[in-house]
Amino acid sequence: MNISKTLLTATTAAMLSMLSIAASAQSDRNADIVVAQAASTDMTEGEIRKVDKDTKKITIKHGEIKNLDMPGMTMLFQVKDAAMLDMVKPGDKVKFRAEKAGGAIVVTEIQVAK
């Protein structure tokens, strides 16, 4: 009976050790995911070409938008909040964040570059 208890204790200890290793590996993977998400939300540099308050759209000449895998170009964007259009004017250098939403690419954040 003592041999059975010893084997059971050793087996339990080994299983707990494996679970601890697995939990540590999962924690490392979660940290990698958070870093990847942070990198994917980097702001893109651009220059305002046109602000159209009537249609709530903005034209930006921009660099690569990494989170959308989009090369630099000049294009028209919708804005998440029309108040963003009051923050910028043609010629302003900006940093912005854009995302796909409802089949469109939408500027979700914008700030005039300093």
What was the pLDDT predicted at 72?
97
Provide the mean pLDDT of the chain: 83
Q: How far apart are CA 30 and CA 54, in angstroms?
A: 43
Report CA-CA distances (Å) from 4 to 11, 15, 43.
10, 16, 61
Specify the DSSP element, H or E, that contains 101. Answer: strand 93-101
What was the pLDDT predicted at 12?
65
For 23-71, what is each residue's pLDDT tens digit? 666 656 655 555 544 444 589 999 999 999 999 999 999 999 999 999 9
pLDDT band for position 13 (cuts 50, 70, 90): low
Amino acid symbol at 98:
A
For 61-111, what is each residue's pLDDT tens digit? 999 999 999 999 999 999 999 999 999 999 999 999 999 998 999 999 999
What was the pLDDT predicted at 114?
80
Instruction: Return phi, psi of residue 53, to 5°.
Output: -70, -25
For 76-87, what is each residue's pLDDT tens digit? 999 999 999 999
Q: How far apart are CA 103 and CA 30, in angstroms?
A: 29
Runs of H (alpha helix) within 41-80: none
